Chain A
Amino acid sequence: AQSVTQLDSHVSVSEGTPVLLRCNYSSSYSPSLFWYVQHPNKGLQLLLKYTSAATLVKGINGFEAEFKKSETSFHLTKPSAHMSDAAEYFCVPIQGAQKLVFGQGTRLTINP
């Protein structure tokens, strides 16, 4: 079964600096992977998805993620953090055909 590890439970950056949220996956084959974001007291929003079509995936709000098979990683990045990026971020694999497997996520804090 596919699983992921989000290496940081909490990341804190200053506004205007780069964001890096780390996700490693464990699978014997190329997985389908998603990044979701959850702002405080809100539902979950899809940021981007990887389905093996392209290794560099661009998402909404300036986020992107690169699938690196050699490193079994799918890290989420953004060149310049904005205050509105403060939220919980989830790296999510597919289990079977449709089940998303959510872990504990990474909480991103933006300092002014």
Chain B
Amino acid sequence: DAGVIQSPRHEVTEMGQEVTLRCKPISGHNSLFWYRQTMMRGLELLIYFNNNVPIDDSGMPEDRFSAKMPNASFSTLKIQPSEPRDSAVYFCASSWSRRGGEQYFGPGTRLTVT
């Protein structure tokens, strides 16, 4: 079982550039979650999808952030334009959507914006 796959694992970019993070959930899972982790704020849920449909995006910081899930096996989180305060580790997780369903996390993408 491949687990949740994220790419790239590390991204360094300059302020103002567009950044795209990618996630492939576990096959058969129908819920996908994007989180951001920083020392100051801990682990925050940004957005989650059920059956490719965004359900709750209340954690998305601002309009510079957008997420899509065009099909059951792929999702992207885009930041445009990026800012230094966006530097964090971004995690993707997937689960089978039933009440109390456990989430399985990917290895994360470490983003540094200079």
* B97 partner, pick from A34, A42, A45, A98, beta carbons under 8 A: A98
Q: Does B48 contact A (CB under 8 A)?
A: yes
Number of A interface residues at 8 Å Cβ cutoff, please give it: 19
Interface centre among A43, A97, A100, A103 (most CB of B within 10 A): A43
Q: Does B95 contact A (CB under 8 A)?
A: yes
Q: Which residues of A contact B107 (CB under 8 A)?
A: 42-43
Interface centre among B43, B56, B91 (most CB of A within 10 A): B43
* A32 partner, pick from B44, B99, B106, beta carbons under 8 A: B99
Q: Does B34 contact A (CB under 8 A)?
A: no
Q: Does B57 contact A (CB under 8 A)?
A: no
* B45 partner, pick from A34, A51, A99, A104, beta carbons under 8 A: A99
What size tier do the contact residues of chain B reach? 20 to 34
**How many pairs, one residue from A and one from B, have CB atoms within 8 Å of each other in the complex?**
47
Write the nearest CB–CB distance from B98 to chain A, whole angstroms. 8
B50-84 vs A: 1/0 string, CB under 8 Å? 10000110000000000000000000000000000
Q: Does B28 contact A (CB under 8 A)?
A: no
Tell me if A98 and B101 are in contact (CB < 8 A).
yes
The interface of chain A, by Cβ under 8 A from chain B, is 32, 34, 42-46, 49, 51, 90, 94, 97-100, 102-105
The interface of chain B, by Cβ under 8 A from chain A, is 4, 31, 33, 42-45, 48, 50, 55-56, 91, 93, 95, 97, 99-108
> Other CB < 8 Å A-B pairs besides A34-B102, A43-B106, A99-B56, 9 of them?
A43-B91, A44-B93, A44-B105, A45-B105, A46-B104, A97-B97, A98-B31, A98-B95, A98-B99
